[in-house]
Chain A
Amino acid sequence: MIPRHFVISVVVMFAVALGMSSYVWHMRSHARETRPAAAADNRPVAAPVSGPTGQVTLFVANDQTGELRARSARIPLPAGRQAHAEELLRALFSLYLEKNSSHPLGPGSEVRNIYLVDPGLAVIDLNQAFADGHRSGILVEELTVASLAETLSANLPGITRVKFLVEGKERDTLAGHADLSEFYEVSAVNQMVARLQVAQ
């Protein structure tokens, strides 16, 4: 004869197991329903930055006037030059990805990485969406290149050359015009920016 308390314990444990299975099944269904929405969101995800904020100068392109304008902004300033550089360009891209941007970039455009290589070389690795979605034209491509290079060199002293990569690889041109095969000398970019500002 099976003791009564043993039967009661087995029944209670069986009921708890059933309840937990039902709960897990419910949670999995819920997760499956919410996952596609998360995958469709391809907006660039900014890494959480802690620490003090600081004043920086962003060189913002304007397609209407065909010039670069220096604009002050307050952004988080993480420790380390590389993190600082990434935060600078992230701030610049957020301006270009706004709805009424003066120089719109393609959706999903973002900076994958920035490598600061001694002495004075900054390598900017951009994503495929940036290159694929960029508009084609000499000036519009030049403005993008000049804006990125000038913003970096103006805020991070010591950068003398800038190289652009797309998905970690070299590319001949940005969108058919601006040459990306060579290194950009900051001194030459400064001249280019000066001409962009006096051309109007």
Chain B
Amino acid sequence: MRWINPSWISSRTNNSRTSRRKTLVPGATWLPVLVILFLASVLLLSGVPDEKRISIYSTVANYSLQVLGRDGADYVGLLEILEPLGEVSARTEGERWKLRYNDVDAEFINEKKHVRVRGKDFDLPTGFHLENGRGLVPLSSLTTLLPRILGGPVTYHDLSRRLFIGSVAVHFTAQVIKANPPRLVMNFSAPVNPMIATEPGKLRMVFTREPVLPTSSLNLTFDSKIILSANYGEINGSAEIAVNATVPLLASFSNNGRTITLAPVAMPATQPQAPQVSSGPPSTPAPALPSQAAPAPRRYFAVVDAAHGGDDRGAALSDQLAEKDVTLAFARRLRQELEARGLTTLLLRDNDSTLSLDQRASTTNSVHPAIYICIHATSEGNAVRLYTSMLPAGSENRGLFLDWDAAQAASHTLSLTAQASLSAELQHAQLPVHSYIAPLRPLNNITTAAVAVELTPSGNDVAQLNSSPYQQAVSSTLASGLASLRTQLETAP
């Protein structure tokens, strides 16, 4: 990272001002020039459009290419389209560009609309462009040109620039499961991995690599007061599904990426300080949007994260026992103990779902808890282990934006305090405990106090990890330790 010495700038500025004063025109003359420069830079910075791209989906590969503007129309390199699909070669002979795709020959002429494919002539909507041996064809010609070369149908979505070669579409269904809370279950005909973004009242899933298409209607309305509707749209080579809801939603993946389940982030009761005994989600979730809740006091005291889950089984503790099952059972018990002490708790994973480490960190940071507790388990050892993060030597924060890998830095002292307090509480309860720092994600990415707990059997009996008495003893002690830290954690900035 580079830093500029202000004194150096000051001296340079003063020197230049002094030297120019004698020879250049008065300062008033410079004012319009400065204004023009300022406006030009604003225009340059704000007016840079997104790069236009076309997404191509086929049975062989899904890929995206840059779209180029020529003569007011959109063009794309024909060789680049065909290369992933088969054997292709091209050669330039003067103004002619000869293409061979598998056993199909095509011939184009620079600046001309006339084309010959498989010995038959036809016209492009606008002229072909030959640039440094690269053949550019108009996007509007793809639906007529490609079937002649490929020998099969293609479908082109003109407005969103999505090209489907053959029957490759991934369809989906969406259904709201009426439970408490309701869940929106979306089943896809092939695995998907969208980018997910949330904003007040909406969760967006953007599919850039998958040929997602709606089965029927673009707009789905659900009979639910919480999950209202889902809208399908396409833009710049991507498909987007926006789900509208009255509460923040959390997405989880299952069925090898073919199913996405959206469920409300469990909301606490309207009186967060009131003691609660129930371990389940609150019966009356407050339909508050994040924007309404922003000035309100902290909604959750703790976020408890049962590590692993879904496809990630974690350690194989025994032939039958997986780490993900032990962590989930213990996390539920810890939530119960915390809520019994009046500490509102969000369980990040309350079923066997797959959550990425980034999703865990993002969700935790978005609800601003006082502390994040991550649960792990191992078959080796004889003491509960407490970990705080191993931070990198430096961080590269940019203004309000924190370095993701060092987001924990500001809260690390608080994490160490929590670790020490929990350690003392466990020792007081005659439970052996050791404390470490560890290179364990997502601890580094959490913006509040963060501690990982690793459960170990006291002897060689791994089954103890899943036993009620053991889990009850450890969870109860941890909850007591956290309760004693409540004021310190809640008043931390």
A140 nearest in chain B by CB position: B380
B435 partner residues in chain A, CB cutoff 8 A: 195, 199
Q: Is there contact, CB below 8 Å, between A139 and B385?
A: yes
A177 touches B440 (CB 8 A): yes
- Binary contact track B433-466/A, C-beta < 8 Å → 1, others 0: 0111111110010000000101000000000000
A138 located at the interface, meaning its Cβ lies under 8 Å from any Cβ of chain B in the complex? yes
- Please report the C-alpha to C-alpha distance between residue A188 and residue B444 in the assembled complex, in whole angstroms: 13
Do A196 and B436 touch (CB < 8 A)?
yes
B330 in the interface (beta carbon within 8 A):
no
| Closest Cβ–Cβ distance, residue B438 to chain A (whole Å) | 5
**Contacts of A133 on B, CB cut-off 8 Å?**
none
Contact check, B434 vs A191: say whether CB atoms are below 8 A apart.
Answer: no
In contact, A138 and B393 (Cβ under 8 angstroms): no
A178 and B380 contacting across the interface, CB-CB below 8 Å: no
Residues of B near A171 (CB, < 8 A) are none
Shortest beta-carbon distance, B427 to chain A, in Å? 13
Are B436 and A142 interface neighbours, CB within 8 A? yes
User: Which of B54-62, B292-300, B311-319, B472-480 binds A?
Assistant: B311-319
Interface residues on A, range: 20 to 34
- Of B315, B436, B441, which one neighbours A136 at CB under 8 angstroms? B315
Instruction: Say how far A135's CB is from chain B's closest CB, in angstroms.
Output: 7
Evaluate contact between B380 and A63: CB separation under 8 angstroms: yes
Q: What is the count of residue pairs linking A and B with beta-carbon distances less than 8 angstroms?
A: 86
Q: In residues 161-186 of chain A, which contact B (Cβ within 8 Å)?
A: 173, 175-179, 181-185
Min CB distance A103 to B, Å, is: 11
Q: Which residues of B have CB within 8 Å of A11?
A: none
The yes or no answer to A66 lying at the interface (CB within 8 A) is yes
**Most chain B CB atoms below 10 A, which of A66, A136, A140, A177:** A177
Q: Is the interface of A mostly helix, strand, loop or mixed?
A: mixed
Residues of B within 8 A of A179 (CB): 439-441, 444
Cα distance, A42 to B405, chains bound together (Å): 39
Within 8 A of A (CB), among B356-405: 376, 378-381, 385, 387, 390-393, 405
Q: What CA separation (Å) do A138 and B315 show in the bound complex?
A: 10
Chain A residues 131 to 156 lying within 8 A of chain B, measured CB to CB, are 135-140, 142, 145
Is A22 part of the binding interface, using a Cβ–Cβ cutoff of 8 Å? no
Which residue of chain B is the closest to A161 with respect to CB atoms?
Answer: B393
Assembly CA distance A145 to B390 (angstroms): 13
Collect the chain A residues with CB atoms within 8 Å of residue B387's CB.
Answer: 138
User: A192 at the A/B interface (Cβ < 8 Å)?
Assistant: yes
Q: Complex formed: what's the CA distance from A135 to B435 in Å?
A: 20
Are A138 and B440 closer than 8 Å at their CB atoms?
yes
Determine the residue in chain A with the shortest Cβ distance to B379.
A137
Contact B391 A188 (CB under 8 A): yes
Query: Known: A176-B312, A185-B392, A199-B434. Contact between A142 and B439, CB under 8 A?
Result: yes
A55 at the interface (CB under 8 A from B): no
20 pairs, A vs B, C-beta closer than 8 Å: A137-B376, A137-B379, A137-B454, A138-B376, A138-B378, A138-B438, A138-B454, A139-B438, A173-B441, A176-B312, A176-B315, A178-B439, A179-B440, A183-B392, A184-B439, A188-B393, A192-B438, A195-B436, A195-B437, A200-B434
Nearest 4 pairs between A and B by C-beta?
A: A136-B315, A137-B378, A185-B393, A179-B439
- Residues of A with Cβ closer than 8 Å to B? 63, 66, 135-140, 142, 145, 173, 175-179, 181-185, 187-188, 191-192, 195-196, 199-200
